[in-house]
C-alpha cells in the first residue's frame, strides 16, 4: 500500500476561543475519522495537531523569523499519514477528514529506493 499525507488547512480563528462544545465536537469528529479510515480499507499510520501559527519559526536560507513566513487565512493545523491502495482510495478517505473551518490536501509520500 502507498502512503498519503492528508494535510488539514483551516482558518485557525475558528479555534481561538471556542466553546467547550466546539472542542468536543472536533474530538468526536476526528475519532470517528480514525475509525472510518479502517472501515474504508486504509490504515491510519499517524497524525498530529499542530500548535497555532504564533508558535511557528520560519527559516529561509540563514534568516530565522518568529511566526509563519506568509500571511494566509488558512494554515496547516494538522495532518494524518495513511496507507491506501491508491490515490482514489486516499481521496475517498480524505473526503471524510474533519476540517470545518477549511479543507484538506492529499499528497502521496515520495518513496526513495
Cβ(40)–Cβ(89) below 8 Å: yes
Instruction: Give the CA distances from residue 21 to residues 17, 27, 69, in Å, rounded to whole numbers and listed in that order.
Output: 11, 10, 32
Give me the domain span that covers residue 74: 2-108
DSSP 10-51: E-GGGGSS--HHHHHHHHHHHHHHHHHHHHTT-EEEEEEE--
The total of structural domains in the chain comes to 1
The CATH number linked to 27 is 3.30.70.1060
Q: What is the pLDDT of residues 2-29, one digit of tens each?
A: 999 999 999 988 888 888 998 899 999 9
Interacting residues of 95 by C-beta distance below 8 A, sequence separation 6+: none
Whole-model pTM: value is 0.88
Determine, yes or no, domain membership for 113: no
Q: What is the pLDDT of residues 73-89, one digit of tens each?
A: 788 999 999 999 999 99
Determine, yes or no, domain membership for 99: yes
Determine, yes or no, domain membership for 90: yes
Mean predicted confidence (pLDDT) in 63-81: 79
Determine, yes or no, domain membership for 57: yes
Q: What is the pLDDT of residues 28-45, one digit of tens each?
A: 999 999 999 999 999 999
Tell me what percent of the residues of the chain surpass a pLDDT of 70. Answer: 96
More confident residue, 67 or 63: 63
Amino acid at each position: 500500500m502507498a502512503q498519503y499525507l492528508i494535510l488539514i488547512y483551516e482558518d485557525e480563528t475558528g479555534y481561538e476561543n471556542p466553546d467547550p462544545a466546539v472542542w468536543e465536537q472536533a474530538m468526536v469528529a476526528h475519532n470517528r475519522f480514525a475509525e472510518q479510515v479502517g472501515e474504508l480499507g486504509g490504515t491510519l499510520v499517524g497524525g498530529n495537531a499542530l500548535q497555532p501559527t504564533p508558535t511557528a519559526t520560519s527559516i529561509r536560507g540563514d534568516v530565522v523569523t518568529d511566526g509563519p513566513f506568509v500571511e494566509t487565512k488558512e494554515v496547516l493545523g494538522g495532518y494524518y499519514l495513511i496507507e491506501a491502495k491508491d490515490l482514489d482510495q486516499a481521496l475517498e478517505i480524505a473526503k471524510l477528514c474533519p476540517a470545518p473551518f477549511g479543507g484538506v490536501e492529499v499528497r502521496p509520500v515520495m518513496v526513495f529506493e
